[in-house]
Amino acid sequence: MFILYILKHSETKELYIGRTNNPKRRLKEHNAGLQKSTKRSTGIWSIVYAEAYRNKKDAVQRELKLKQHGSNKRWLLDRIKYSIED
């Protein structure tokens, strides 16, 4: 199983899109500063949204579509707007 996820930072409110086959391990890596793009001196990342895929290729394609900042990303963020608000 492959998981596409969206993280939100507790202080900066930034969003990060990624994928993994082990969400618990990956979240620990993000919060430990092991991922360059999510390394922050304060605050923590938390999962605010996830989608599960049986095939890795499907998860990769979905991640790439969302990272293009186009209509797919706008549509998803609009759909989950209350989940990503504080």
Q: Please give the tally of structural domains in the chain.
A: 1
SS3 of 6-52: EEEECCCCCEEEEEECCHHHHHHHHHCCCCHHHCCCCCCEEEEEEEE
Residue 35's pLDDT is 86
Q: Are 35 and 42 in contact (CB under 8 A)?
A: no
86 vs 75: CA distance, rounded Å: 20
Residue 23 is predicted with a pLDDT of 95
The CA-based angle 27-56-2, given to 5 degrees, is: 35
Q: Given a cut of 80, is residue 5 above it in pLDDT?
A: yes
Q: Could you read off the pLDDT of 7-25 as tens digits, one per residue?
A: 999 999 999 999 999 999 9
The pLDDT score that the predictor gives to residue 85 is 84
Q: What CATH number does the domain containing 32 carry?
A: 3.40.1440
Three-class DSSP category at 68: coil
The pTM for the full model equals 0.90
Which residue range forms the structural domain that includes residue 29? Answer: 2-84
At residue 69, the pLDDT reads: 87
Digit-coded pLDDT (tens) for 50-72: 999 999 999 999 999 999 988 99
Residues facing 49 on adjacent strands: 6
